[in-house]
Amino acid sequence: MTTLRPHAEDQYAEELALLAAADDRPRPPGWRLSPQAVVTYLLGDGAKITPKYVGPRRLMEVAVSTLATDRALLLLGVPGTAKTWVSEHLAAAISGDSTLLIQGTAGTAEEAIRYGWNYARLLAEGPTDAALVPSPVMRAMRTGAIARLEELTRVPSDVQDALITILSEKTLPVPELNTEVQAQRGFNLIATANDRDRGVNELSSALRRRFNTVVLPMPASADDEVEIVARRVAQLGKALELPEVPAALEEIRRVVTVFRELRSGMTEDGRTKLKSPTGTLSTAEAISVVTNGMALAAHFGDGTLHPGDVAAGITGAVIKDPVSDGVVWREYLETVVRERSGWLDFYRAARDA
Amino acid sequence: MPERIYGIRHHGPGSARAVVRELTANPPEVLLIEGPPEADDLVRWVADGGLEPPVALLGYAVDDPGRAAFWPFAVFSPEWQAIRWAVRHGVRVRFFDLPYAYRVAPGAGTGPVAPSPTAGDLGGAALNRTVLGRSALSGSALNRAALNKAALSGATPAAMIEPDPDEQVEPALDEPPLRPVDPIGELAAAAGYDDPERWWEDVVEHRGVPVFEAIAEAMTAIRETSPEDPDDLLREAYMRSVLREERRRHEEIAVVCGAWHVPALTRKVAVKDDTALLKGRPKGKVAFTWVPWTYGRLASWSGYGAGVRSPGWYHHLFTTGDDVVVRWLVDAAGVLRAEGVPTSSAHVIEAARLAEALATLRGRPLAGLAEVTEAAEAVMCDGEPLRAELIARRLVVGERLGSVPDDMPAMPLVRDLTAQQRSLRLKPAATERDLDLDLRQDNDLRRSRLLHRLGVLAVPWGQRAATRRGAGTFREEWRLLWQPEFAVRLVEGSMWGTTVASAATARVARRARDATTLAEVTELVELCLLADLADAYPPVLAALDTRAALDADVHHLMAAIPALARTLRYGDVRRTDVAGLATVTASLLGRVCAALPSAAGSLSDEAARQLRDGMDGVHRAVGLLADDSLRERWLGTIASLAARPGLHGLPAGRLTRLLLDAGRLDGAEVRRRLRLPLTVGTPPAHAAAWVEGFLSGGGLLLVHDEALLSLVDDWLADIPADAFDSVLPLLRRTFGGFDSGERRAVGERVAGGRAASADTAAAIDAERAAAPLTTLGALLGRRLTGTKGTA
């Protein structure tokens, strides 16, 4: 098997089967698991089921309940807060299929959300069922599955509004064939949207009303974040077949600390206020900084992760705007990092980077 | 049964309902309530329509109103409901907790609290216990951490009474609690409930068991294994003795007290043990009054530590019969609509559905606060934290403010002010009057502080008048005019504290926290100095640090430094402790040093001028600070800045000059730099700005600074004749800015040759120089000695 990244339902097929076997609670129509089991799948049970999302339980409960009440779910958050990750796993756990996906872009057309045509057939046969090319949403409606729409707010407003009928009437009319596709039970939609895109293509209030919003926050505590980064780095390292580098927890903690402090504008001990850079400094970026550092250490270093290996990556992640972020970063290095014991190597490396 | 003991959860609406139900079913002859017995007389006010909860009983030591404690009541407090019931039915009410007088016993407040572990708990520690426990609390008590912390602060009475709950130090919760703060809450938590009220509802009410017997049983079980708090034992001994006294007079007695105390009241204890415990305790003189309270102060997020987290929700639970969830969500929609957020009935419907689904998912019979909040957040708030916060503030906590009847006795803040007015011989008058204060005199200094503090409390009794004569820092002129509405302001000020000083401190601390610009905070620093609010320094300085960190504009940062440096250097004129300020000033300077290089690029003429002025100010301030490492850092920064090629002429010239004055550049280097602007590669405007920057600061310096004058003179002489014509306009421009007198003096110095002043520095006659020292000392307000007469 050479798939770079298997779908969630394949990768975690075992866990899903385990949960389904033990699940004796009522399942909403069209669901593979009961809502409680879905929450367990996402958050782990401390034994066989690994946690997919590390964060407040109540958020996952709200998300799952939302889907159970047949309201569409909008996952909102700054980049790198595991929106897509959560939506993929929700779809995998609820309908066993996370592939009904539309990537929202500025160029997403209405056909991508409703249906398109196979033009060769359309010309040859005229509008027939066979000439119709269903969108992932249409297929999800037919099969009673969860459809996913990424980056909803990047989609132009007029295209977004194609969702209104689908979400409120749960039907997709096809006027050309004088038919409609009615959603089967179990159909629902999970959309993700980026907080930073607010105001680009603001959802119309009619559409907004069809969604329940769950805001995914940045990890609450440093330990949570270290755990997330360490786990993902290990998984990624395996997937990318990087040479084995002992994931130095100390360096991960350092990266996470730097990210958290700059993000929150406050040192972890709460004593010093800091300026925040323009970038988001998400957990995802922390993961990539560490992975990158490990690749550096494995291929060009001595095989252990040193402060120098992550320093360059951090500098690049922090300084998104060369002028203002540069000041922020320098001020942080001089006022916080320099005086912290045990951080001298990192300070030097970061200053030179 | 002759007596019924109702163990309640303080501020628990479920308990309140149950108590009223029980009282109606079994009306007693007398009602005993956990509360300060000194407040018995105040019970009658409950019948007055003017007393509207949330209100609090405020008790304070008569001789020292700074020592005070609050006993708040909300409409959903079981005690309040019980009192109301009793007042309506003409049943006598008696508070039977340990008298507050014991807490303010003389001796406990004058110095640090007596350290003895058993006797000490009757001093400041016990007082704090009451303050933190009873006022804050949801449980009938407190925890060890709060106690310890409070005991430590016992030396400063103002700290005991939370002048502003927001500023109250959070008890360190990492220390093991002596006993459960909210025993019922902990029972609920153990059962997996995040809201004790819902636990009460589900587990206690719906079981059909006699509520209070079940609670008493549970508490007995808990108390058997929990450590006992000596203060509790004392209070319970008093409670039992009151109970015994009432037993002799009445058959039907009802007792409303924290559930924790129930087992102690039913336990058999020998009379002599209780009397022994209570005997010989000193008592202080205390006074009680009702004060308005707010739900915000009841709520824990105001910093109470162990408060009721959601008074608004409890109010809703208590006052709403059925459809609790739907009505709540309708209210939430109303809050959002009032703020202009379109929220339809469809939203409410969806939110109610989601709340129910969540409750089902969590296996709960009914949606509670957590579910409705999360549902409202997901459906109505569109992921906007501000809206969720709005709902939390308006509904979950609530903004309800209680009221007290107009004819209530005076507030402690007013009393404190009256006392100070008397001792400072400063009578309020309705006619305008001028007051000239000499700050070197103690009485005047105290008057000045009082006026400044009142100003902070929005009681502008005195207005600063423009100083008519002299610029002495020890003179202050005020115009006094007392206006009737100040009385109202004082009552408002009471929420900040019970003495003028503590209230002003809390007010300043709050203003510092709310300040949005650096300038506001710097102003507060000076205000703290003027009003002598030493306790306000830490929060103000913290705010200063925060604002400085967030203020991206280096000009603001630079503008803040001179005032701070002045305060640091001259603060002791007012005998103020300014510890901590130095650290903040240093960090501020550090930030300026870090940000200055990037702020100095691509400047317009105006911006360059601003930068020059800012840097001048900082440079002078650095001189005042007398801290070598800071000075090094600052000079290092400007040295690297001055050497930067693209820098605007004005600051570049100025910096070169500053470095020259500081001895960082020698004459040769300065001469080289002086020459550079006049070379062909430099546009004339730049050169003009450079020279102006270098020589600005007045011609007087040029007159007296021999080295500088010779430097400029040499430089001028070096200019080749053919270039001189083009340089001349630049020089005219700079020198044109000097006074004509200065210009003439410079000219005379240059014409008169350099040697003239070389030997004027004659030896100083120490004896003659010592003669005027006495007079000088009187003028400066400090003793001068002639030992270093030649310095």
Which of the two residues, B665 and A191, has the higher pLDDT score?
A: A191
Mean pLDDT of chain B: 75
Residues of A (12-41) whose Cβ lies below 8 Å from B: 35-36, 39
Above 70 in pLDDT, residue B157?
A: no
What DSSP state is assigned to residue A20? H
Residue A288 contacts residue A242 (beta carbons within 8 Å): no
- Closest approach of B383 to chain A, Cα-based (Å): 6
Above 90 in pLDDT, residue A121?
A: yes
Residue A77 contacts residue A217 (beta carbons within 8 Å): yes
**What is the distance between the alpha carbons of residues B150 and B306, in angstroms, rounded to a whole number?**
14
Which of the two residues, B471 and A137, has the higher pLDDT score?
A: A137
Most B-contacting residue of A209, A214, A261, A264 (CB-CB within 10 A), to test interface: A209
pLDDT at A144: 93
**What is the distance between the alpha carbons of residues B777 and B780, in angstroms, rounded to a whole number?**
5
- Closest approach of A94 to chain B, Cα-based (Å): 15
Residues A151-181 have pLDDT tens digits of 998 899 889 989 998 998 999 999 999 999 9
Choose among B699, B705, B692, B775: nearest CA to B743: B699
Are residues A174 and A280 located together in one domain of the fold?
no
Residue A8 contacts residue A98 (beta carbons within 8 Å): yes
* HEC assignment per residue over B23-91: HHHCCCCEEEECCCHHHHHHHHHHHCCCCECCEEEEEEECCEEEEEEEEEECCCCHHHHHHHHHHHCCC
Q: Which of A58-72, A74-88, B34-48, B574-588 has the lowest mean pLDDT?
A: B574-588
Above 60 in pLDDT, residue B742?
A: yes
- Closest approach of A99 to chain B, Cα-based (Å): 26
- Helix ranges, B465-604 (H): 486-493, 500-514, 518-531, 537-550, 554-570, 581-599
**What is the distance between the alpha carbons of residues A216 and A225, in angstroms, rounded to a whole number?**
14
Residue among B378, B383, B545 minimizing CB distance to A273: B545
pLDDT band at B697; cut points 50, 70, 90: low
Residue among B353, B377, B549 minimizing CB distance to A275: B549
pLDDT band at A74; cut points 50, 70, 90: very high
- CA torsion B741→B747→B752→B754, rounded to 10°? 110
Residue among A66, A74, A209 minimizing CB distance to B354: A66
Mean pLDDT of chain A: 87
Residues B374-414 have pLDDT tens digits of 999 889 888 788 888 888 888 888 877 777 776 666 677 87
**How far is the first Cα of chain B from the last one, in angstroms, to the nearest whole number?**
92
Choose among B405, B406, B470: nearest CA to B439: B470
Most B-contacting residue of A70, A205, A212, A331 (CB-CB within 10 A), to test interface: A212
Subunit contact B378:A213, Cβ cutoff 8 A: yes
Side-by-side strand order, sheet with B286-292: B64-73, B55-61, B286-292
pLDDT band at B131; cut points 50, 70, 90: very low
pLDDT band at B698; cut points 50, 70, 90: low
Which of the two residues, B496 and A49, has the higher pLDDT score?
A: A49
Residues A317-344, mean pLDDT to the nearest whole number: 85
pLDDT at B307: 58
Concatenated DSSP letters for B677-717? GGSTTS-HHHHHHHHHHHH-S-HHHHHH-HHHHHHHHHHHH
**What is the distance between the alpha carbons of residues B311 and B314, in angstroms, rounded to a whole number?**
5
**What is the distance between the alpha carbons of residues B415 and B84, in angstroms, rounded to a whole number?**
30
Which of the two residues, B199 and B328, has the higher pLDDT score?
A: B328
From chain B, the residues in CB contact with A265 under 8 A are 549-550
Subunit contact A76:B383, Cβ cutoff 8 A: yes
The domain boundary, picked from A184, A215, A246, lies at A215
Residue A234 contacts residue A287 (beta carbons within 8 Å): no
From chain A, the residues in CB contact with B546 under 8 A are 273
CB pairs under 8 A between A and B: 87
**What is the distance between the alpha carbons of residues A178 and A181, in angstroms, rounded to a whole number?**
10
Q: Which of A190-204, B326-340, B760-774 has the lowest mean pLDDT?
A: B760-774
User: What is the value of ipTM here, to two decimals?
Assistant: 0.81
Residue B175, token pair as written in the block: 């220390």
Residues A139-158 have pLDDT tens digits of 999 999 999 999 998 899 88
Q: How many structural domains are present in chain A?
A: 2
Are residues A165 and A57 located together in one domain of the fold?
yes
Determine the residue type at B579: A
- Residue A344 sits at the vertex; the CA angle it makes with A341 and A345, to the nearest 5 degrees, is 135
- Closest approach of A103 to chain B, Cα-based (Å): 22
Are residues A180 and A237 located together in one domain of the fold?
no
pLDDT at B152: 31
From chain A, the residues in CB contact with B344 under 8 A are 209
Residue A95, token pair as written in the block: 């309908």
**What is the distance between the alpha carbons of residues B214 and B263, in angstroms, rounded to a whole number?**
12
**What is the distance between the alpha carbons of residues A138 and A144, in angstroms, rounded to a whole number?**
10
**What is the distance between the alpha carbons of residues A147 and B456, in angstroms, rounded to a whole number?**
60
Above 60 in pLDDT, residue A220?
A: yes
Query: Which H or E run contains B436?
Result: strand B433-438
From chain B, the residues in CB contact with A273 under 8 A are 545-546, 548-550
Q: Is B627 helix (H, G, I), strand (E, B) or coil?
A: coil
Which of the two residues, B158 and B751, has the higher pLDDT score?
A: B751
Question: For A76, which residue in chain B has the nearest alpha carbon?
Answer: B383
Examine residue A173 and state whether it is found in any structural domain, yes or no.
yes
Which of the two residues, A189 and B269, has the higher pLDDT score?
A: A189
Query: Which H or E run contains A224?
Result: helix A222-239
pLDDT at B575: 55
Concatenated DSSP letters for A83-134? HHHHHHHHHHHHHS----EEE--TT--HHHHSEEE-HHHHHHH-S-GGGEEE
**What is the distance between the alpha carbons of residues B26 and B5, in angstroms, rounded to a whole number?**
12
Half-sphere exposure of B781 (CA within 13 A, CB side): 14
Concatenated DSSP letters for B511-532? HHHH--SHHHHHHHHHHHHHHT
Q: Is B448 helix (H, G, I), strand (E, B) or coil?
A: helix
Which of the two residues, B735 and B325, has the higher pLDDT score?
A: B325
Question: For B352, which residue in chain A has the nearest alpha carbon?
Answer: A69
- Write out the residues of chain B at the interface with chain A, using a CB-CB cutoff of 8 A: 342, 344, 346-347, 350, 353-354, 357-358, 360-362, 370, 374-375, 377-379, 381-383, 385, 545-546, 548-550, 552, 587, 590-591, 594-595, 598
pLDDT band at B528; cut points 50, 70, 90: confident
Are residues A341 and A236 located together in one domain of the fold?
yes
Structural domain range at position A306: 222-352
Q: What phi and psi values does residue B194 have, to the nearest 5 degrees?
A: -85, -20
Which of the two residues, B407 and A331, has the higher pLDDT score?
A: A331
Residue B421 contacts residue B367 (beta carbons within 8 Å): no
> Does the CB of A265 have a partner CB in chain B at under 8 Å?
yes
Residues B714-738, mean pLDDT to the nearest whole number: 75
- Closest approach of B382 to chain A, Cα-based (Å): 5
Evaluate the omega torsion of the peptide bond into residue B54 and state whether it is cis, within 30 degrees of 0: yes
pLDDT at A179: 92
Which of the two residues, A103 and A237, has the higher pLDDT score?
A: A103
Subunit contact B370:A39, Cβ cutoff 8 A: no
Examine residue A119 and state whether it is found in any structural domain, yes or no.
yes
Question: For B344, which residue in chain A has the nearest alpha carbon?
Answer: A209
Residue among A62, A274, A326 minimizing CB distance to B374: A62
**How far is the first Cα of chain A from the last one, in angstroms, to the nearest whole number?**
39
pLDDT at B62: 72
**What is the distance between the alpha carbons of residues B300 and A3, in angstroms, rounded to a whole number?**
53
Residue among A39, A212, A275 minimizing CB distance to B379: A212
Residue among B360, B374, B549 minimizing CB distance to A274: B549
From chain B, the residues in CB contact with A38 under 8 A are none
Residue among A65, A68, A334 minimizing CB distance to B594: A334
pLDDT at A140: 94
Domain boundaries, chain B: 3-302, 320-398, 412-496, 666-755
Residues A190-208, mean pLDDT to the nearest whole number: 83
**What is the distance between the alpha carbons of residues A23 and A10, in angstroms, rounded to a whole number?**
19
Residue B93 contacts residue B43 (beta carbons within 8 Å): yes
Residues of A (55-94) whose Cβ lies below 8 Å from B: 58, 61-62, 64-66, 68-69, 71, 74, 76
Residues B87-105, mean pLDDT to the nearest whole number: 86
Examine residue A3 and state whether it is found in any structural domain, yes or no.
no
What DSSP state is assigned to residue B463? E
Residues present in chain B in total: 791
Please state the pTM of the whole predicted model.
0.62
What DSSP state is assigned to residue A153? G
pLDDT band at B306; cut points 50, 70, 90: very low
Are residues A136 and A14 located together in one domain of the fold?
yes
Question: For A26, which residue in chain B has the nearest alpha carbon?
Answer: B361
Rg of chain A, C-alpha, whole Å: 23
Q: Can you say whether residue B727 is alpha, beta or left, with left for phi > 0 and alpha for psi between -120 and 50 degrees?
A: alpha
pLDDT at A135: 94
Residues B62-86, mean pLDDT to the nearest whole number: 82
**What is the distance between the alpha carbons of residues A228 and B97, in angstroms, rounded to a whole number?**
52
Examine residue A259 and state whether it is found in any structural domain, yes or no.
yes
Examine residue A332 and state whether it is found in any structural domain, yes or no.
yes
Above 60 in pLDDT, residue B151?
A: no
Residue among B361, B383, B548 minimizing CB distance to A65: B361
Are residues A14 and A163 located together in one domain of the fold?
yes
**What is the distance between the alpha carbons of residues B639 and B275, in angstroms, rounded to a whole number?**
78
- Closest approach of A159 to chain B, Cα-based (Å): 20
Are residues A235 and A208 located together in one domain of the fold?
no
Determine the residue type at A323: V
Rg of chain B, C-alpha, whole Å: 35
Above 90 in pLDDT, residue A94?
A: yes
pLDDT band at B577; cut points 50, 70, 90: low
- Helix ranges, B279-323 (H): 295-298, 311-319
pLDDT at B167: 34
Residues of A (305-324) whose Cβ lies below 8 Å from B: 323-324
- Closest approach of A16 to chain B, Cα-based (Å): 19
**The domain spanning residue A117 has which CATH number?**
3.40.50.300
Choose among A281, A272, A284, A292: nearest CA to A353: A292
Examine residue A251 and state whether it is found in any structural domain, yes or no.
yes
Are residues A188 and A59 located together in one domain of the fold?
yes
Largest CA distance in chain A: 76
Largest CA distance in chain B: 118
Are residues A80 and A49 located together in one domain of the fold?
yes
Are residues A170 and A231 located together in one domain of the fold?
no
Residues B239-250, mean pLDDT to the nearest whole number: 88
Examine residue A1 and state whether it is found in any structural domain, yes or no.
no
From chain A, the residues in CB contact with B590 under 8 A are 334-335
Question: For A194, which residue in chain B has the nearest alpha carbon?
Answer: B383
Are residues A144 and A30 located together in one domain of the fold?
yes
Above 50 in pLDDT, residue B144?
A: no
pLDDT at B786: 57
Residues B13-40 have pLDDT tens digits of 888 888 898 899 888 989 999 888 888 8
The domain boundary, picked from A196, A215, A234, lies at A215
Residue among A68, A213, A274 minimizing CB distance to B383: A213
pLDDT band at A270; cut points 50, 70, 90: confident
The domain boundary, picked from A181, A215, A249, lies at A215
Query: Which H or E run contains A78?
Result: none
From chain B, the residues in CB contact with A61 under 8 A are 358, 361-362, 374
pLDDT at A184: 93
From chain B, the residues in CB contact with A66 under 8 A are 354, 357, 378
Kindly list the distances between the CA atom of residue B773 and the CA atoms of B29, B336, B441, B475, B765, in Å, as whole numbers in the listed order: 82, 71, 21, 22, 13
Above 70 in pLDDT, residue B141?
A: no
Residue B540 contacts residue B522 (beta carbons within 8 Å): no
Are residues A235 and A182 located together in one domain of the fold?
no
From chain B, the residues in CB contact with A331 under 8 A are 591, 594-595
- Closest approach of B345 to chain A, Cα-based (Å): 11
- Helix ranges, A240-299 (H): 249-264, 283-299
Subunit contact A62:B375, Cβ cutoff 8 A: yes
pLDDT at A235: 79
Pairing assessment for the beta strands A188-194 and B55-61 based on DSSP bridges? unpaired
